[in-house]
Structure 1
Amino acid sequence: MKIAVIGAGHVGGTLARRWSALGHEVVLGLRDPASAKSQAQAAELGLAATDRAAAAQGAEIVLLATPGGVPAIDAARACELKPGQILADATNPLNANLDGLEHPGGLSGAQQLARALPGVRVVKAFNTVGFGIMAQPVREGRRSVLFVSGDDQPAVEAVSKLAAETGFVPVPLGGLPASRMQEEHAVLWIHLAVKTGLGVDFLFSLCRGAA
């Protein structure tokens, strides 16, 4: 599968490396691929880096993993996505204090992306766990849960399959309005990791009772 990873920070870089190791064709899409920083990131990951539109061209899944401070909609538009392409949104519209979200008009970040990119199949995923867990989604024998939401069922299934291949237990939440809950969950994760001193190396797992 060809996967474009937009952003080479902790999240984008970790998932890009993991997916490449799993045999996928991964290309980094960066704002300034010719810069020394971008070239160093690409060399460290052993991947090709190009501009965002070139990376997204023909990609079966495009992961939006831009760092905080980079407007998600601007970065997504720079990808020049075609109708029908899948955009997996790993971003969170955090406020400046990292203790809440900015949801203009009550819309989640993922819903805002879907509104700004008609025809693109937006799926919310990979936004509620730390990058260390992305590298290894198993702790003490338990696999990390990964929540997924989107209005297009085949797109949700494609992203869920990739998540499962990565080592997660994907849990679909329903349509894209559920992505707001995912973004709130990310705020909880930040609170636990930073505010309570828990650190970043923990996961949430889903345990079902006996049938």
Structure 2
Amino acid sequence: MSYAIIGFGNVGQALAKAFARKGIEVSVATTRDPESFAPAAAAIGPTVIPKKLADALKADTVFLAVRFESHQDVAKALPTWQGKTIVDVTNAYGVPPEQLGGEPSSRAVAHAFTGARLVKGFNHLVAAVLGQDPAVHGGKRVVFLSSDDDGAAAEIGALAEKLGFSPIKLGGLSEGGLLVHARGNSWGQLIFKDLVKFD
């Protein structure tokens, strides 16, 4: 299984740190030339590999860590996303619900990435918290996952555990998934909740 993070701002770098902590290789890309962010990637760790967008998108699982408004630009980079899993880390705060046809923002992302399996996840924590070691107070930091594809949610749940998090599945995008979606100028009830699970 190969992984890529598209977007290398605060959230993209926080995700890269999670992979680096566990020594799991991950490609990172933006629309810029990889040389421009190679030093930042190297500072995180040797398993964080800067690539051109087209090369990074060869990965099986793609973390979408760009601004919500930019997701369509990334989606246009491939004619089909068949066989890939997209982890939607975007937040559509400030985007009017009418602009999304009243649907959760992840549905709009799913429509853009034709053929992909989509999981909403890793988006409810601010970057500074997401970038920290998820082993806290003798427990594991929670990440929420929602998807209309149970198989994809299970795969990303297993990856979240490998990264040291405790995944909690919220069900479909229009069910529990609404708890981690921004809608217009309001945040879902679980966004910014920093929870720790104890076994």
TM-score using structure 1 length: 0.77
CA distance in 1, matches of 2:80, 2:20: 22
Alpha-carbon distance in 2 for matches of 1:110, 1:25: 26
Determine the structure 1 residue equivalent to 2:128. Answer: 132
What's 1:71 paired with? Answer: 70
Q: State how 1:29-108 maps to structure 2 within 5 Å.
A: 29-34=29-34, 36=36, 38-45=37-44, 46=46, 47-57=48-58, 59-66=59-66, 68=67, 70-78=69-77, 82-95=81-94, 102-103=96-97, 104-108=100-104
Residues 129-168 of structure 1, C-alpha deviation per residue, up to 9 Å, x if partnerless? 1233322123333322211111111111111111112222
Change (3 A) 1:159 1:72: same
Q: Distance in 2 between matches of 1:114 and 1:61?
A: 14
Residues in 2 aligned to 1:184 and 1:111: alpha-carbon distance in whole angstroms: 13
- Bigger drift between 164-173 and 75-84 goes to 75-84
Q: In the alignment, what sits opposite 2:25?
A: 25
What secondary structure does 2:154 align onto? helix
Q: Distance in 2 between matches of 1:190 and 1:147?
A: 9
Task: Look up the match of 1:176.
Answer: 173
Asked if residue 118 in structure 1 is aligned to residue 114 in structure 2, the reply is yes
- Partner-residue secondary structure (3-state), 1:128: coil
- For residues 69 and 184 of structure 1, the distance between their equivalents in structure 2, rounded to whole angstroms, comes to 11
1:149–1:176: 8 Å Cα contact kept in structure 2?
Answer: yes
Distance 2:157 2:74 in 1: 23
Partner of 1:203: 194
Higher relative contact order structure (alpha carbons within 8 Å, sequence separation ≥ 6)? 2
Q: Distance in 1 between matches of 2:109 and 2:6?
A: 14
Alignment-derived partner of residue 2 in structure 1: 2
Deviation at 1:83, TM superposition (A): 0.5
Q: Is the 8 A contact 1:139 1:203 kept in 2?
A: no
The letter of the residue matching 1:40 is: P
In 2, distance between residues paired with 1:72 and 1:187? 19
* Residue type of the alignment partner of 2:138: G
Q: Please give the alpha-carbon distance, in whole angstroms, between the structure 1 residues aligned to 2:189 and 2:40.
A: 26
CA contact (8 A) 1:83 1:119 kept: yes
Unaligned runs of 5+ in 1: 96-100, 193-201
Residue 80 of structure 1 deviates from its aligned partner by 5.5
- 8 Å contact kept, 2:134–2:140: yes
Find the aligned partners of 1:190 and 1:182 in 2 and give their Cα distance.
6
Report the alpha carbon displacement of residue 69 of structure 1 after superposing the two structures with TM.
7.0
State the number of aligned residues: 191
Of 123-132 and 175-184, deviating more is 175-184
How far did residue 107 of structure 1 move? 1.4
- The residue type paired with residue 119 of structure 1 is G
* Structure-2 change in CA distance of 1:48 and 1:139 (3 Å): closer
| Aligned-CA RMSD value | 2.9
Q: Which runs of 5+ in 2 are unaligned?
A: none
**What letter is aligned with 1:183?**
H
Residue of 154, 158, 162 corresponding to 1:157: 154
> For 1:54 and 1:79, how far apart are their aligned partners in 2?
11
Alpha carbons 1:145, 1:168 under 8 Å: kept:
yes
Q: Which amino acid aligns with 1:121?
A: R
